[in-house]
Amino acid sequence: MDTPGFFELMSFGPEGWAPALLRAAMMTLAIAATGYVIGSTLGAFLAWGKVSGGRVIRGFAETYTTVLRGIPDLLVIYLFYFGGSLLLTKIMRGLGGEGFFDLPGFAAGSIAIGVVSAAQHTEVFRGAYRAVTPGEIEAAVAMGMARPTLFRRIILPLTARHALPGMGNVWQITLKESALVSVTGVVELVRQAQIGAGSTRQPFYFFFASAVLFLVITWISGLVLNRAERHFSRGLER
């Protein structure tokens, strides 16, 4: 019997793994995107805390970023996966449930990734806010602009301009980090490649294919980010 070649294995045919790999790519994207949304939201609050919080809030934000940037991401994923399941089990037992309750790998993984990227987002946002010319904010204050309007119309777009390059970086990192979530058994790209490699004994084909899919995702997101950057840096000196 012939061993199937690369294109046969990666096809949509009966021997093909294309559907499974594409599904896995979507899973990778979903984990990364969810983690990214969690991370940027949390990061925005932490940055706000660092910039204008009192001593307690600032201390908390400072500790958060120091700790999360200092420990391996894999550890954070384990912490949320196993710790989350233990906590969930406790809660469910408290509510009268029985047995062991698993925190789904997707949830644990994206929260873990989000929590890690929050630390990176915090630094990006804080640096971006610092880069806004204080005079531009003062000019709005001097015209009697209310706080929420000032934030939405002036501070946010000006901060975004400085934050976007950094946010693009964090997105790429988050995307790659999502590969670590494979340890929880979620079938994302890396996990799917392992499965394929194991059952066909063609590790190179599968890891190569997943690498290509990763690249396609980063390439497309790079295009989107470039557009956003262009939009927000309008009026900047070139």
Partner 1 sequence: MTKPAIRLRGLRKSFGLNEVLSGIDLDANEGEVVSILGSSGSGKSTMLRCINLLETPSAGEVWIGDEMIELTTDKAGRSKPTDAGKVQKIRERVGMVFQSFNLWSHKTVLENVMEAPIHVLGRPKAEVREEALALLDKVGIAAKRDAYPAHLSGGQQQRAAIARSLAMHPDVLLFDEPTSALDPELVGEVLRVMRSLADEGRTMLVVTHEMGFARDVSTRVVFLHQGQIDCQGAPDDLFTGGGSERFQRFAAPS
DSSP string, 183-234: GGT---HHHHHHHHHHHHT-HHHHHHHHHHHHHHHHHHHHHHHHHHHHHHTT
Query: Residues 135, 201, 204, 219: which binds partner 1 (CB under 8 A)?
Result: 135
Query: Residues 53, 104, 157, 166: which binds partner 1 (CB under 8 A)?
Result: 157
CA distance 172 to 96: 43
* Residue 66 within binding range of partner 1, rule CB under 8 A: no
Specify the stretch interacting with partner 1 by CB under 8 A; choose among 91-99, 130-138, 186-194, 215-223.
Answer: 130-138
Look up residue 40 and give its amino acid. S
**By C-beta, is 99 or 135 nearer to partner 1?**
135
CA distance 21 to 179: 14
DSSP string, 132-184: S-HHHHHHHHHTT--HHHIIIIIIHHHHHHHHHHHHHHHHHHHHHHGGGGGGG
* Residue 54 within binding range of partner 1, rule CB under 8 A: no
CA distance 66 to 60: 10
Query: Residues 93, 153, 227, 230: which binds partner 1 (CB under 8 A)?
Result: 153
CA distance 209 to 215: 10
**By C-beta, is 92 or 160 nearer to partner 1?**
160
Q: Are 122 and 64 a contacting pair, CB within 8 Å?
A: yes
**Within 160-199, which residues bind partner 1 (CB under 8 A)?**
161
**φ, ψ dihedrals at 104, nearest 5°:** -55, 145
CA distance 206 to 196: 6
Specify the stretch interacting with partner 1 by CB under 8 A; choose among 61-69, 116-124, 195-203, 229-237.
Answer: 229-237
Specify the stretch interacting with partner 1 by CB under 8 A; choose among 34-42, 64-72, 111-119, 157-165.
Answer: 157-165
* Residue 98 within binding range of partner 1, rule CB under 8 A: no
Query: Residues 141, 211, 215, 216: which binds partner 1 (CB under 8 A)?
Result: 141
Residues binding partner 1: number (CB under 8 A):
23
The CB-of-149 to partner 1 minimum distance in angstroms stands at 5
Query: Residues 22, 145, 183, 195: which binds partner 1 (CB under 8 A)?
Result: 145
Query: Residues 22, 57, 140, 228: which binds partner 1 (CB under 8 A)?
Result: 140
| Residues forming the site for partner 1 (CB under 8 A) | 133, 135-136, 138-146, 149, 153-154, 157-158, 161, 232, 234-237
